Every structure is written in structure tokens, then in C-alpha cells.
Amino acid sequence: MKKKDIVSLIKYHVERNELGFRNEAYKIAKSFDTMGDNQIASYIMSLLSDDANTLVPQILETQSTFFEHIQPKEDPLLLPDKVVKDLIGVANAIDRHIGVNKFLFQGPPGAGKTEAAKQLAKILAREVYMVNFSTVIDSRLGQTQKNLHSLFHEINNFPHPERTIILFDEFDIIALDRVNSNDLREMGRAASELLKLLERTNEDIVLIATTNLFEHFDGAILRRFDAIIDFNQYTADDLLKVAEKFLEVYLVKMKLANRDIRLFRKIIKLANPVPMPGTLKNIIKTSLAFSDTKDGLDYMRKLYTNICCRQPDNLVLLKQEGFTIREIEILTKQSKSNVARRLKERLGGE
């Protein structure tokens, strides 16, 4: 990062040049990434993603039945550092306009593939149009191939390709028909045609496909993509940090103040393995939403039930799971003295 970058950043801010400001800030983020400071780079990019959608006029809605215009949600996107670094690389490649425009995001359900595509669109000031494959696939002979040609004709003729991302969510719906011997021959032909059409995609359009069935893809499919981003890179500690962030976000949204991070982490760890972020978000959000508004820690009991699929009422089991007397008091709504006495009785004084 150079001094002139800071001067330009301030200049754009004073001039209220929002687009220039965002581009300069993005360039600074890339320079930090080049220097190896990935955390600062990803933090700057996350700040940019909060505002990018307000800086670019919306693309006119297409009348096509093939697409759904996607608006990014305000929920946080929490990814491992390795994936963040890969996404910065994707953004860099797109910004260079050298024809690197097709990317495959692969990983388990709930790993953040689709949300990452949306956030990438915000950072790059592009609009996301998700393909609805149910309108493409047709049982009539030859119609699916015709629909694919119509689809790609529309993709290649978008009015503002430089501001567009096409999202093939759950790409395997159609791509895997090519290699699955149980499918109809007609679908096999359509999937093979899809590969040809991918090669002819307008290079100004960014195309992102997602899948959780990566291991079933053959080389012919993979070669159509310029890069493959692996979202299956979460460590157990990454997922615990993701869970804590979701807890923080939803406690604020629901105006709940009670926090016990140690107890929270113990409950989450009982999942073994800890779920992917998409599942974590739903579990934590639901536990908080369904909790007693007059009991600030009732969400812990709901969380335990959702994670373990049982009520937290077995004192001996809770003790074996590593909970302290005070934590068991919270989970069972029994006094510490009563918990201690009953455990002593059942464990024979141990």
C-alpha cells in the first residue's frame, strides 16, 4: 500500500465519490492480501460488502422465466481464512478482465457457498441472477437442450454483462446427469450440451456454480471451470468461532443480554462433529427465538435440546458430559444445592 492510495481514499470520500472510494478501498485490501495480511484484507472486504449494494444502480429485471434476481441477506458471512483468501483471488481474477470468469464452489451443505457468491457480487458491485433449473429441465424429447440454448442465449446477451453474476446453484442437478448411467439418455445429451455452452459464455459475465457432490464430477466437467474453490476447510475451532458470532448477532437482534460463552461452547461441542455454518445459524437462531422471554438463559436449554435431541434433565449424563454444577443448574433450572445432593445420591458420593 502506498501513500497515494490513502490520499486518493480520503479525496474520494471528501468528493463523495462513492464508487471511486469503494474501488480505492478494494485496491488497498488487495495490497494487504499481497503482503500476507489476510485478516486485514478480509476485514476491509467485509466492510465494503456492507455498502456495495447501495453504490450501483440495479440492473433492469429480465422477463425471463429462467432467472431469479437474488438480493443478498444481511446475515453475516463467516468463512475460514483459507476460503477468504481464495475468494480474494477470485475477485482479483475477475477485476483483471482476462477471461477468467467461471468458478465452481464445492463443499458440504451449509458451508456458505451460495452466500459467498452473493457477498462476492456485493464486493464487485454486480447483480446476481440465479438459474432456476426446474424451468430448464423438461420431460419432452429434446426440449431440455432447446431450453439450455435459450438460457445461454439470454446469459450471453445480458444488457450489462460487466455487472452480472450468473449463479448455477446446485449445479449437479443437471451436470451429473451426464455421468449417471441411471439417467435417461435424453438428459445425458442435455448435460453434454451444457458443457459445450459453458465454453461459449460471454467472458464479461461471471458464472459461479455450486455443488455438494464434487466427488461425482468427472474431468470433462471440471475443465470447464477456471478455478475450483473448496469450502470444506473449516476446522472445529473455526466452527466454534462461527457459532459464537451467530450467537452474538442474534442476541443483539433479539435484545437478549445473557451470555455464557463457556457453557455455549460446551453445548455446541456435543454435536460432534460441529455442524456447518448454515445448520449452526438455524439451530442458534431457532433456540433464541423459541426461548422464554422472561428467562434470559432459557435459550441454552433450547440449544441443548436442538443439539442433542433430548431434554437436559439427566443430571448424571450432564455431569458426564463435562458440565459444572453451576451449568447444570442453568440447564435444569434446579438449585445448585439440589443438583449437588442428587448427584451425590446417584453417584454414590463420588
Same domain, 159 and 102: yes
Same domain, 226 and 241: no
Same domain, 64 and 206: yes
Q: Report cis status (omega within 30 of 0) of the bond before 273.
A: yes
d(CA 310, CA 314): 10
Position 286 scores a pLDDT of 97
Same domain, 223 and 240: no
Last residue of a domain, one of 167, 195, 230: 230
- pTM listed for this prediction: 0.75
pLDDT tens digit sequence for 153-193: 999 988 888 889 999 999 988 877 544 444 445 556 777 88
Same domain, 212 and 163: yes
Can you say how many angstroms the Cα of residue 85 is from the centroid of all Cα atoms in its chain? 15
Please tell me the total count of domains within the chain.
3
> What are the residues whose beta carbons fall under 8 Å from the beta carbon of 182, sequence distance 6 or more?
none
Last residue of a domain, one of 55, 83, 98: 55
Higher pLDDT, 66 or 186: 66
pLDDT tens digit sequence for 292-330: 989 999 999 999 999 999 999 999 999 999 999 999 999
Range of the domain at 136: 56-230
Same domain, 106 and 255: no
DSSP per position, 3-53: HHHHHHHHHHHHTT-HHHHHHHHHHHHHHHHHTT-HHHHHHHHHHHHHHGG
Same domain, 208 and 142: yes
Same domain, 48 and 84: no
Same domain, 302 and 272: yes
Same domain, 44 and 180: no
Last residue of a domain, one of 176, 199, 230: 230
Quick check: 189 and 235 in contact, CB under 8 A? no
